[in-house]
Amino acid sequence: MSITRRGFLAALAAPPASLTDTVLVHEHVLVDFTSGKAPYDEAEVFAIARPHLDAVKKLGVRRFLDCSPNFIGRNPKLLARLADATGLEIWTNTGLYAARNHQFLPDYAKTETAAQLARRWTMEYRQGVDGVKPRFLKIGVNDGPLGALDKKIVEAAALCSRETGLAIQSHTGNGIAAWEQVEIVTRAKVSASKFVWVHAYREKNHEFHEKVARAGGWVQFDGVDAKSMAWHLECVRFLQGKGLLGRTMISQDAGYYKPGQPRGGAFRPYTLLLTDLVPKLDPAWVEVLLKKNPVEAYGA
């Protein structure tokens, strides 16, 4: 029996990674940095975003976590319409965003206690927002060491997570802030596995990545674009080398329609991660990064 050269080479090559049932854990349809000061045409956002969502659905993506928080363009009704039209599961969130020096916080966030804020978010989870149930918490903090207001937002998220079981995606600038949040969350008797360090790629010191992952937190390298792809690969390989791939997620922070700009400005497609990064990864890693971990972190 002779083995053809072609057959031999095919046997050597790793099977192509399957993208069926993958999850994009950090993307945006719409981000409104004007906080409602620039009204937008929902039909236009729908028409612009839809083909980009169709494109990832076609590649096998099952679920898309929309990470735009309340007061920065969260629009559950629009997301529900896009989900219906595309067949994608699109998840929205509850919580408040304290990053960018608190400019997107409503006044009540400054005066209410962590427990009061947590109650508001738990209520949104139980009753839904415009008919849509938030499926995760999305907060944001400034760089560490964290100030009192930032700490309060994190504590509120922990209290809400304890009540609802929701995971906490926290927009985080640096490793110091990430570690402080792990401490706040665990002090509130919430497992570190409920904490997701959003934008972990912005921290250049791998020691923080390892420390948070070892403590049981999720380390999310979610800024994949053409320029940052090599660094994202390096981050993933680092944690894999430490035996911590099971604490690692990847996404793109792509999109999104920006009110106040003509036709929402430049829209970054959601496909690059799937078409350009995935082929550079071992298929077994893709299973963990884009399927197993997102379900373990955020729920089935």
Cβ proximity to Zn ion, 155 vs 253, nearer residue? 253
Cβ proximity to Zn ion, 203 vs 253, nearer residue? 253
Cβ proximity to Zn ion, 71 vs 119, nearer residue? 71
290 binds Zn ion (CB under 5 A): no
Cβ proximity to Zn ion, 100 vs 126, nearer residue? 100
Residues 178-237 that bind Zn ion (CB under 5 A): none
Rounded to the nearest 5°, which phi and psi values hold at 84? -60, -40
* Nearest CA-CA partner of 185 in 162, 210, 208, 209: 162
Quick one: which segment of 63-71, 121-129, 280-288, 291-299 binds Zn ion (CB under 5 A)? 63-71
Cβ proximity to Zn ion, 119 vs 202, nearer residue? 202
Quick one: which segment of 2-10, 45-53, 223-231, 247-255 binds Zn ion (CB under 5 A)? 247-255
Q: State the burial class of residue 163 (Cβ atoms within 10 Å of its Cβ: 0-12, 13-18, 19+).
A: middle
Q: Which two tokens stand for residue 54?
A: 């169709």
Q: State the burial class of residue 181 (Cβ atoms within 10 Å of its Cβ: 0-12, 13-18, 19+).
A: buried
253 binds Zn ion (CB under 5 A): yes
Least CB distance from residue 111 to Zn ion, whole Å?
27
Cβ proximity to Zn ion, 17 vs 168, nearer residue? 168
Please give the Cα distance from 48 to 45 (Å, whole number): 5
67 binds Zn ion (CB under 5 A): yes
Judged by CB under 5 A, how many residues of this single chain contact Zn ion? 2
Quick one: which segment of 59-67, 93-101, 116-124, 237-245 binds Zn ion (CB under 5 A)? 59-67
Quick one: which segment of 135-143, 245-253, 258-266, 284-292 binds Zn ion (CB under 5 A)? 245-253
Least CB distance from residue 134 to Zn ion, whole Å?
16
Least CB distance from residue 136 to Zn ion, whole Å?
13
Least CB distance from residue 115 to Zn ion, whole Å?
27
Cβ proximity to Zn ion, 129 vs 139, nearer residue? 139
User: Where do we find the tokens 């209520």?
Assistant: 123
Cβ proximity to Zn ion, 114 vs 274, nearer residue? 274
Quick one: which segment of 62-70, 110-118, 172-180, 256-264 binds Zn ion (CB under 5 A)? 62-70
Least CB distance from residue 68 to Zn ion, whole Å?
7
Quick one: which segment of 60-68, 110-118, 179-187, 291-299 binds Zn ion (CB under 5 A)? 60-68
The residues that touch Zn ion, with contacts defined as CB under 5 A, are 67, 253
